[in-house]
């Protein structure tokens, strides 16, 4: 991506080196790869986080960021600023006002409005405090564990989480979470898939407008993003982790679905074109 000369966001809380001392009992053994699968397949990471946290304290770690860490922090801040600029314009074009989210960068663990956040949970959006939480080491896990590295792939991850914030502002997130409390597990999972595919679509909408405004795309970027979306499909992750798939347990969508909705957003740039809830589930 071309990001030279772009501004950084003022909505970043850098907590790297400050570790939460709250209790962490996520039930996933603390392993990164399982944490990745929970984030990528778990539908709503808050459900994992909130069940085990009360108040916590923070302590200072012996943490010295590497040059790569600093570059990734600047990158994340620049991408967040890009989403602020674009979504402010898109909302205004649709007669609405955009209120940007915050982003917390942390290392190891930290407290969120949804409970204790651990690097094991992967990046997530917490509607309780309208904040994205990211341990930058996740990008290295994307590269080494998921074969989904690259700056545009990392930008897609941030844009996807901002997509959940867009859903929050539009009222979609609360509505779907309420519906999930009233249906079966299978139906709840299907609602989660619809929610996640819409967030992918919104990530694509941001990409479309960001390129229109800043000429940010380089050759191969879109392919890199679509590859990332494909690598984190539920079907692919289930095959990697257990050797077979359980479609009723899908929470984020298949590789084909995730790539398709991201691509649709990139091609159209239309906020109103991401209605994943009116489409028959088999046609997503």
Q: Please report which confidence band the pLDDT of residue 61 belongs to, taking 50, 70 and 90 as the band edges.
A: low
Structure tokens at 148: 């989904």
- Among 157-166, 187-196, 239-248, 256-265, the minimum mean pLDDT is found in 239-248
DSSP class of residue 281 equals G
Distance between CA 76 and CA 79 in Å, rounded? 5
pLDDT of 19 reads: 63
Q: Which residue has the tokens 């539908």?
A: 43
DSSP class of residue 249 equals G
Q: Please report which confidence band the pLDDT of residue 52 belongs to, taking 50, 70 and 90 as the band edges.
A: very low
Query: pLDDT at residue 76 above 60?
Result: yes
Query: pLDDT at residue 40 above 90?
Result: no
Distance between CA 6 and CA 278 in Å, rounded? 37
How wide is the angle at C-alpha 154 spanned by C-alphas 133 and 84, nearest 5°? 65
Averaged pLDDT, 64-85: 94
Residue in 150, 158, 166 with CA at minimum distance from that of residue 231: 150
**pLDDT tens column, 86-139:** 999 999 999 999 999 999 999 999 999 999 888 888 899 999 999 999 999 999
Query: pLDDT at residue 29 above 60?
Result: no
Averaged pLDDT, 13-24: 70
**pLDDT tens column, 220-259:** 999 999 999 998 888 888 888 899 999 999 999 999 999 9
Averaged pLDDT, 81-85: 98
Torsion-angle region of 80 (φ positive above 0: left; ψ -120 to 50: alpha; else: beta): alpha
Residue in 57, 39, 209 with CA at minimum distance from that of residue 125: 39
pLDDT of 183 reads: 96
pLDDT of 241 reads: 87
Query: pLDDT at residue 55 above 80?
Result: no
Share of the chain above pLDDT 90, in %: 73
pLDDT of 284 reads: 96
Q: Please report which confidence band the pLDDT of residue 24 belongs to, taking 50, 70 and 90 as the band edges.
A: very low
Neighbours of 69 (CB within 10 A): 17
Residue 114's H or E segment, with its range, is none
Q: Please report which confidence band the pLDDT of residue 53 belongs to, taking 50, 70 and 90 as the band edges.
A: very low
Distance between CA 53 and CA 77 in Å, rounded? 28
Q: Please report which confidence band the pLDDT of residue 39 belongs to, taking 50, 70 and 90 as the band edges.
A: low
């Amino acid at each position: 991506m071309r990001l030279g000369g772009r501004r950084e966001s003022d909505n970043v809380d850098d907590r790297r080196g400050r570790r939460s001392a709250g209790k962490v009992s996520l039930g996933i053994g603390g392993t990164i790869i399982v944490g990745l699968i929970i984030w990528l397949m778990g539908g709503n990471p808050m459900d994992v986080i909130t069940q085990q946290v009360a108040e916590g304290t923070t302590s200072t770690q012996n943490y010295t960021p590497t040059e790569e860490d600093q570059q990734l922090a600047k990158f994340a801040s620049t991408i967040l600023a890009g989403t602020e600029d674009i979504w402010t314009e898109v909302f205004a074009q649709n007669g609405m006002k955009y209120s940007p989210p915050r982003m917390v960068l942390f290392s190891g663990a930290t407290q969120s409005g949804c409970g204790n956040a651990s690097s094991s949970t992967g990046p997530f959006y917490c509607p309780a405090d309208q904040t994205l939480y990211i341990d930058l080491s996740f990008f290295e896990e994307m590269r080494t564990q998921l074969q989904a590295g690259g700056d545009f792939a990392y930008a897609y991850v941030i844009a996807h989480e901002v997509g959940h914030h867009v859903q929050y502002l539009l009222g979609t997130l609360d509505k779907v979470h309420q519906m999930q409390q009233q249906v079966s597990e299978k139906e709840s999972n299907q609602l989660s898939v619809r929610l996640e595919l819409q967030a992918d679509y919104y990530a694509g909408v941001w990409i479309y407008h960001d390129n229109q405004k800043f000429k940010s795309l380089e050759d191969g970027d879109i392919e890199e993003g679509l590859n990332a979306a494909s690598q984190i499909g539920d079907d692919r992750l289930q095959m990697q982790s257990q050797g077979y798939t359980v479609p009723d347990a899908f929470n984020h969508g298949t590789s084909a679905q995730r790539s398709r909705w991201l691509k649709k957003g990139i091609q159209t740039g239309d906020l109103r074109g991401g209605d994943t809830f009116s489409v028959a589930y088999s046609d997503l």
